[in-house]
Structure 1
């Protein structure tokens, strides 16, 4: 190649640093040392190619190879196993937050229950309402004197508040209250076996019965409670209105006597 600059450009494009011909062709002109300018090395390759491009190049015709036998069958197989492109779903901040946001159960307000043990094996759980100054203990005393005529009932009241442990980091859902109170009842039954149980009012029945039972639908009825969770010991509880409801609606006392007798 007589044009040394053009030869150096081709060798540089091919990544060849040093080139030495093995033989000299006959009638070839003698090689002349070419001094390359310093600015040529600093120029972009595209500029060098444009500057030292050959004036005329004969086009090269590529003859396609014959298709191998069974190429169409292979193409069909590859087309079947080709991965299916997933549909692109727009991603935004709202969709990301929806994925990480968990729907929490509603928090219930703290409440209190009144406990009485008028006789051995007899437990009364009443839904306490301290905001109303009503003579609930006097009503309970009259009811028990009629229900237990031969026994002097013990009317020492115990107040059980929920949550039992004040901790703002603990969740306070209906399931939490139900699990905690049912566990308490199971332990109470183990320590002091219960053979008669009154659940009076909404809170007493709602959290000591199963979650699917509505207290208002089972008033005046008797339910079997599995206090231990293993089926070994079972409690029979009568679901009754609270003492406050009996005072506010005296006509309910007739249903009360029909249920407890």
Structure 2
């Protein structure tokens, strides 16, 4: 059985304004005498049997689910009990500031070692394959001597200063990117060229020398380049690359025959 308060709520939801129970309801409020006076008298012999005599009382376990089903059917959700999320209009969404783009990280500094040499009236900026100065029996140094003999230049080149190693510093906030490396290498070579005087041609041996002194890439191998501040240059593959790919030597020799006029005619 249900309480009087809940019973009245159900009747209001079903729009029942007046009702009279057939039997005494437990937990019910006292009946209104005026309503009882309006009810017609029913002879005792014609009165219907009490509900308790006709319909057996249902067990408490069965009555509880029935009340639950009725409650779910007639209850009306209260306004605002489950508010819907506000839908943002298109103009407001467009007015929102865009997220700031992620800060692009600076590329790592290039790493290379270059040695400046002089052979006759030519200067050579050569990549050091191991990062250390040449030794007399190094295979790369022996190959360089062969190239100088084939070019008609002294095969015992003079070392000019210490190798140029990049990056300069392992720590610190100084810019050591590709542009800084190019400016440093070109400034270093230009200063040495002024000290040495006449220079018929500058050899750029190896990709780091071609990239940071000649401002070119591997596509410039075996070609002549004109570099501002450095004059006429000749781009060559690296010594280690020539040892790994001997087939490049034929193309190098053909290019050398065309460029050789630069230092041959000035002797």
TM-score range, shorter chain: 0.5 to 0.7
Distance 2:167 2:255 in 1: 31
Show CA shifts across 1:143-200 (max 9, x none). Answer: 2123226x46335475221234555211221111111111222222222233211111
Higher gyration radius (CA)? 2
Structure 2 unmatched runs, 5+: 1-91, 258-267
Distance 2:228 2:129 in 1: 27
Residue 195 in 1 paired to residue 200 in 2?
Answer: yes
8 A contact 2:122–2:202 mirrored in 1: yes
Show CA shifts across 1:103-154 (max 9, x none). Answer: 34312243211222122x41111222217996111111122123226x4633
Pick which of 216-225 and 134-143 moved more. 134-143
What is the correspondence of 1:77-88 to structure 2 with a 5 Å cutoff?
A: none
The aligned counterpart of 1:204 is: 209
Distance 2:105 2:186 in 1: 22
Instruction: Assess, with a 3 A threshold, how the Cα gap between structure 1 residues 155 and 137 changes in structure 2: closer, same or farther.
Output: farther
TM-score normalised by structure 1 residue count: 0.53
What is the correspondence of 1:128-143 to structure 2 with a 5 Å cutoff?
A: 128-130=128-130, 135-143=139-147
The aligned counterpart of 2:95 is: 89
Distance 2:147 2:178 in 1: 31
Distance 1:252 1:139 in 2: 13
Query: In structure 2, the residue corresponding to 1:188 is in which secondary structure?
Result: helix
8 A contact 1:117–1:155 mirrored in 2: yes
The aligned counterpart of 1:117 is: 118
Aligned length: 161
8 A contact 1:123–1:198 mirrored in 2: yes
Residue 221 in 1 paired to residue 223 in 2?
Answer: yes
8 A contact 2:113–2:131 mirrored in 1: no
Residue 255 in 1 paired to residue 255 in 2?
Answer: no
Q: 1:258 offset after TM fit, Å? A: 1.5
1:178 to 179, 182, 188: 182
2:238 to 242, 256, 261: 242
Distance 2:223 2:94 in 1: 58
Q: 1:222 offset after TM fit, Å? A: 0.2
Query: What is the RMSD computed on CA atoms of the aligned residues?
Result: 3.0
Query: In structure 1, the residue corresponding to 2:163 is in which secondary structure?
Result: strand
8 A contact 1:219–1:240 mirrored in 2: yes
